Amino acid sequence: MKKLLILGGGTAGTITANKLRRRLPSTQWEITVVDADDNHRYQPGYLFLPFGTYKPSQVTKSRRKNLTADVPLVYGEIDMVDADDDRVLLTDGRTLDYDVLIIATGVSPRPDQTDGMLGDHWGDSVHEFYTYDGSVALAEKLRTWPGGRLVINIVEMPIKCPVAPLEFAFLADSFFRSKGMRDKVEMTYVTPLPGAFTKPIAAQAFGDTLEEKGIAVEPDFMLMEVDNDKSALVSYDEREVPFDLLVTVPLNMGADFVSRSGLGNELNLVPVDKFTQQSKAHDNIFALGDANDIPASKAGSVAHFEIDIFVDNFLEYIDGKDMTHRFDGHANCFIETGDKKAMLIDFNYDWEPLPGKYPVAGVGPMSLLKPTHLNHLGKLAFRWMYWNMLIPGRPMGLPALMSTSGKRTDLVDTPH
């Protein structure tokens, strides 16, 4: 009996286990998932918790129940991967052997990595919404916050769901308007990027939306520290941005065991081949979802398309064949823009997000890079699709590889 061990029972780990269990004979392959607890979070929901749109109970389900019954879930903290001996050590002393290992332990916000962030104001005037506890605490804060200078900040790229801080800004604008207090809130978006987003055409569209909503942008801001005496962000080039309420996206890092095991880069991400997600250091280790270092968004959408391709490659790999499928970095994301509207972007390694229609050229029904009510309904419907289609590994009817059909490719000279 061969053993496939999957570290992490989140989005990538669960989809992979559920899909592969159907494709691998149970007489030949045992598939086991390891995670520390039973709370599978619907992380896109963290965006809505602070504004009271979702209730905490709507974003959590059982990891165990999301996994097919014939995949055992081992509860335990990972101490390290012993790649030379093909085994994983848990902190309680248990050892798990594998023939093939999949690392799907994602990334986590690390406020401890920025000087002063975990200072006196943490949890009071310094908040984050990238954890369940953080987004619940921020909801409580916003409920009674009287207004003032709201600063939304990204410490450093890459982060999970790179559009989420923009969405937070757009939704906060709507939230304060609906409470009749928008005039009491001065909003600034402080980013290490040269503009609102990484890719030029989308950056322009999002930048225009920020401007329309009266949200100032402080670009190229490399955060050095949170100055607790001054209640201000301080950059390496000595700019200061004072705040009354800071909503930051801390540095995102992979799990510490990845680096303890010698498998990680400086952000604890596993270096992999960007087309197959196979570890560059060990042939029988793959890293899927946010845990790897591919130059794509860290998002469930990427994990979804990546795993569609990975499953076919994996079947070739265990047959001793060359892996012939190539993941293209495809992702699509809804971006809430407030007032019950959303934009949609669809892109990959080579093509930046462009205007057009999706998924059917000329027809849609979704519009790319344009705020519409239908996109907003799509975003809300996605929670149901996540739990009922994506996580069980059912086909969603969307092609895994990106298509340029229906897109304004004339807007760019070369794919980028």
Partner 1 sequence: MPTTTINGHDVSVDDEGFMTVYDEWDESTGAALAEAIGIDMTDEHWAVIRFLRDDFKTQGATPTIRRVSTAGGVDTKKLFQLFPKKPAKKMAYIAGLPKPAGCV
Q: Which is nearer to partner 1, 172 or 344 (CB)?
A: 344
Confirm or reject binding of residue 224 to partner 1 (CB under 8 A): yes
Answer yes or no whether residue 264 interacts with partner 1 by CB under 8 A: no
Q: Tell me the torsion sign for CA atoms 173, 177, 178, 181.
A: positive
Decide the pairing of beta strands 285-287 and 216-218. unpaired
Cβ at position 110, least distance to partner 1 in Å: 12
Q: Determine which residue in the list 181, 222, 360, 361 makes contact with partner 1, applying CB under 8 A.
A: 222
CB of residue 266 to partner 1, shortest distance in Å? 4
Contact (CB, 8 A) for 385 and 377: no
By DSSP bridging, strand 2-7 and strand 285-287 are: unpaired
Q: Rounded to whole angstroms, how far apart are CA atoms 257 and 275?
A: 24
Position among 297, 313, 332, 375 found at the interface with partner 1 (CB under 8 A): 297
Q: Which of 36, 136, 157, 401 binds partner 1 (CB under 8 A)?
A: 157
Helical segments of 215-274, H only: 256-260
Q: Are 73 and 63 a contacting pair, CB within 8 Å?
A: yes
Residue with smaller CB distance to partner 1, 222 or 381: 222
Cβ proximity to partner 1: between 295 and 395 the closer is 295
Q: Which is nearer to partner 1, 34 or 154 (CB)?
A: 154
Is residue 267 close enough to count as binding partner 1 by CB under 8 A? yes
157: buried, middle or exposed (CB in 10 Å: 19+, 13-18, 0-12)? middle
Contacts made by residues 259-263, CB under 8 angstroms, sequence distance 24+: 260/79, 260/80, 261/80, 261/81, 261/82, 261/83, 262/83, 263/81, 263/83, 263/103
Q: Do 412 and 366 touch, CB atoms closer than 8 A?
A: no
Interacting residue with partner 1 among 162, 264, 356, 393 (CB under 8 A): 162
With respect to partner 1, which residue has the nearer C-beta, 21 or 330? 330
Number of residues that bind partner 1 (CB under 8 A): 19
Q: Does 199 bind partner 1 (CB under 8 A)?
A: yes
Which residues sit at the interface with partner 1, rule CB under 8 A?
156-158, 162, 193-194, 198-199, 220, 222, 224, 236-237, 265-267, 295-297
